[in-house]
Copies of this chain bind each other. A is one copy, B any other.
Amino acid sequence: MSTTPRRQDPDMDPAPRISARSAAVHDRVQEHLADLDQRYTSGRRRLIELLVATSRPASLPELLELDPSIPQSSLYRNLDMLERTGLVRRLTTGGEHARFEFAEPLLAHHHHLICVSCGLIEDVTFADAVETAVDDALHEAALDYGFEPLHHSIDLHGHCSDCAAQN
């Protein structure tokens, strides 16, 4: 076995960034799971690899398409476990399938553009001033209702460029 999986032509695309990013994520995940006495098995590694590969929140069918050799039940079980340990976030908005992305220790604070037509989700980041304004407003509102705030999320629903072009 070679040390690296076959990919595109090394002359055209050495892709050093992806590898570095992937390794860094694996380190973070391994450490986090070790702290919680959870195993970092090969199946979980493969799942993390898939999540690194998709730059967007991914649905289970999308993950399966990237690596059909992983059983659905293992994907669901491990996504669930990673969610419970706080490494992965499950997005229920935006279509028939849930979508999964890295949670904030692994991915910077951001929000989502959601296509109401095809369910595609893009990550976006806002200026600190906007985040602060929203946080202040939310904190105040939470107090009024006795809520203990944890985190906020902002979605923009609309049509992605592909779907907008089709109409």
Pick the contact of A150 from B124, B127, B157, B161 — CB < 8 Å? B157
Is there contact, CB below 8 Å, between B147 and A158?
yes
Copies assembled: 2
- How far, in angstroms, from A64 to B154 measured CA to CA in the complex? 30
Residues A146 and B161 in contact in the complex (CB < 8 Å), given A92-B93, A154-B154, A156-B138: yes
Contacting pair A124 B141 (CB below 8 A): yes
Binding site for B on A (CB under 8 A): 92-94, 113, 115-116, 122, 124, 126-127, 129-130, 133-134, 136-138, 141-142, 144-161, 164
Contact A141 B113 (CB under 8 A): yes
The A interface is mostly helix, strand or loop, or mixed, namely: mixed
A122: which of B94, B122, B145 is its contact (CB, 8 Å)? B145
Q: Are A154 and B156 in contact (CB under 8 A)?
A: no
Does the CB pair B156–A142 fall under 8 Å? Answer: yes
CA distance A167 to B138 in the complex (A): 22
- Could you tell me if B146 and A160 are in contact, using CB atoms closer than 8 angstroms? yes
Q: Select one of B124, B137, B146, B156 contacting A130, CB under 8 A.
A: B137
Decide if A154 touches B133 in the complex (CB within 8 Å).
Answer: no
- Least distance between A80 CB and chain B CB atoms (Å): 14
Query: In the complex the two chains form, what is the Cα distance from A102 to B141 in whole Å?
Result: 21
Q: A148 touching B152 by the CB < 8 A rule?
A: no
**Given A134-B134, A145-B122, CB of A157 within 8 Å of CB of B152:** yes
- For residue A144, which residue of chain B has the nearest CB? B124
| Shortest distance from the beta carbon of A109 to any chain B beta carbon, whole Å | 13
